[in-house]
Amino acid sequence: MSYVGPDFDAPEPRRRRRGPLTVVVAALVPAALLGWLVYEAVADSGGGSADGAPTTRSAGTAPSAAPGSPASPAGGADNAEQPDASSTARAGSKPLAGKVVVVDPGHNPGNVHHTAEINRKVDIGTNSKECDTTGTSTNSGYTEAQFTLDVARRLRTLLEQQGATVKFTQDGDRSWGPCVDERARIGNEAHADAAISIHADGAAQGDRGFHVILPASVHKGAADTRRIVGPSRDLGERVAGDFVRVTGSAPSNYVGDGTGLVVRSDLGGLNLSTVPKVFIECGNMRDTKDAAQLTSGSWRQKAAQGISEGIVSFLRG
């Protein structure tokens, strides 16, 4: 699958074969439609949380942060928007049953208070690098670590609705970190079918758009990405394509030559991964126009939806 940007043509729908069950299926359609309408009427009576995340959560999932807390920006009218689960999930099908997805919310809100710990060097195969960083922020102070946790939690809800088992590298439940080598190890030990690290960039004003980072072919020290380069590119292309379609965002105008795809060999989270994995920089927090999107609850829901649909497409083949 090749990713060609926001103006790509949608694929032609497949022609369905007709068989002896066609008449029977046609007869069942009105009943199925009636059942779906009843389900929708019941489902629509429920409510959502103020920041746009659904109120129903899986066991063991941390509750949504209150407005003004480290995991949530100041609330706005758009933060009350309800997430849109896919029609497949609403119909009760679980296409990702048995699949494991590791979601890595980049950085940690507490990193800023643990500079000695996060500045410690760790081996990433090609060289040594800092354990982690504090991340960036918008000019108004909304941090990357807040953003990544919010999008990751929304993404978890959507993937779990599809039947996936979702594991986090951190969920605001530790004071700092984890280090980049541990983030990779969590995905490896979970034998993840797919892993994704959520980020936002800190480039110059005027630099706009998202990009997906793919692992380079690395074989040095503890790093060996040769087996995951191909499937990681497939995952990244699907995530990029669906991110464009759902959010309406354009690929980065400052890296990736307009493709929205970048290959790197200097990220420990990719170098040390043994499972298909990509990073996504959802936008530039230092650009005022991108920042307006990144601080919008309704846009973050779209970001999570686009990422989710890319992962679902990859795992279903």
pLDDT in tens, 138-147: 999 999 999 9
Count CB neighbours of 40 within 10 A.
11
Higher-confidence residue of 312 and 80: namely 312
pLDDT tens per residue, range 25-60: 344 334 443 444 333 443 343 333 333 333 333 333
Residue 126 domain-assigned (yes or no)? yes
pLDDT tens per residue, range 71-115: 444 333 344 444 454 444 454 579 999 999 999 999 999 999 999
Structural domain including 63 reads: 22-316
In the chain, the amino acid numbered 260 is: G
Residue 292 domain-assigned (yes or no)? yes
pLDDT reported for residue 112: 96
Residue 16 domain-assigned (yes or no)? no
C-alpha–C-alpha distance, residues 143 and 138, integer Å: 6
C-alpha–C-alpha distance, residues 266 and 271, integer Å: 7
Residue 50 domain-assigned (yes or no)? yes
CB neighbours of 30 closer than 8 A, spacing ≥ 6?
none
Domain containing 52 — which CATH number? 3.40.630.40
CB 135 within 8 A of CB 143: yes
- The DSSP bridge partners found for residue 215 are 264
Backbone angles phi, psi at 163, to 5 degrees: 100, 0
Looking only at the bridges linking them, the beta strands covering 219-220 and 165-168 are: unpaired
pLDDT reported for residue 93: 77
- Residue whose C-alpha is closest to residue 260's, from 295, 231, 236: 236
Residue 10 domain-assigned (yes or no)? no
Residue 265 domain-assigned (yes or no)? yes
C-alpha–C-alpha distance, residues 157 and 59, integer Å: 12
pLDDT reported for residue 59: 34
Q: How far apart are the first and last CA of the chain?
A: 10
Q: Kindly list the catalytic residues.
A: 281
Structure tokens at 36: 């779906």
Total domains, the chain = 1
Residue found under tokens 């601080």 = 295
Residue 13 domain-assigned (yes or no)? no
C-alpha–C-alpha distance, residues 229 and 278, integer Å: 10
Q: List, as one string, the DSSP characters of 124-179.
A: -SSSEEES-----B-TTS-BHHHHHHHHHHHHHHHHHHTT-EEEES-SS-SSS---
Estimate to the nearest angstrom the gap between the alpha carbon of 228 and the chain centroid.
19
CB neighbours of 110 closer than 8 A, spacing ≥ 6?
174, 175, 176
In the chain, the amino acid numbered 104 is: D
Higher-confidence residue of 22 and 213: namely 213
> Taking 70 as the threshold, does the pLDDT of residue 240 lie above it?
yes
> Taking 60 as the threshold, does the pLDDT of residue 236 lie above it?
yes
Residue 8 domain-assigned (yes or no)? no
